[in-house]
Homo-oligomer: A and B are copies of this chain.
Amino acid sequence: MKHLGHHILVEYYDCSSKALDDVELIESAMREAAVKAGATIIESVFHTFTPQGVSGVVVISESHLAIHTWPEYGYAAVDLFTCGEEVDPWKAFEVLKERLKASNYMVMELKRGKVTPDMERRAASYFEDKFSKVSASAAG
């Protein structure tokens, strides 16, 4: 069965608190993770919390990578959501595990957007409609 998205949810535990509170390190690690995964970065947005913690998202052509850190607990929640066959979120997972110095982690891997036969029919009709509009416009 075809799926549209590939989503890896990671709980990184026992990380370096120093790394988790360093917004520059986190942004650099997340961008490196995107590149190593084979993704194309569109934009990244990161910010620090008071008194501690970092949040950020890397928007990629193939979906997004997100991180939220709690330095006091040594914990980071990471989401690696990718589309297409060219991008491998597990490579991003490995980069982050190393850069955050995570001793423990828990991973959940999900396939998002299961394409049913009904959806295939809907897509066929969508493209047929779009194509006929383009043809009509070219002919007109």
Contacts and interface: CB of A to CB of B under 8 A. Distances in A.
- Of the four ranges (under 10, 10 to 19, 20 to 34, 35 or more), the interface on chain A belongs to 35 or more
A42 to B, nearest CB: 6
Contact of A126 (B17, B47, B63): B17
A77 B138 CA distance: 34
A59 interface: yes
Given A73-B123, A122-B72, A123-B73, A81 B59 contact: no
Given A75-B113, A81-B68, A63 B55 contact: yes
B81 A66 contact: yes
Given A5-B68, A45-B45, A119 B75 contact: yes
Copies of this chain: 2
A66 B67 CA distance: 12
A115 B73 contact: yes
Instruction: Give chain A's interface secondary structure class.
Output: strand
A117 B112 CA distance: 33
A60 to B, nearest CB: 9
A126 B17 CA distance: 9
Nearest to A120: B73
Given A75-B119, A77-B81, 9 more contacts: A4-B70, A7-B9, A47-B59, A51-B130, A57-B57, A66-B66, A73-B113, A74-B122, A108-B110
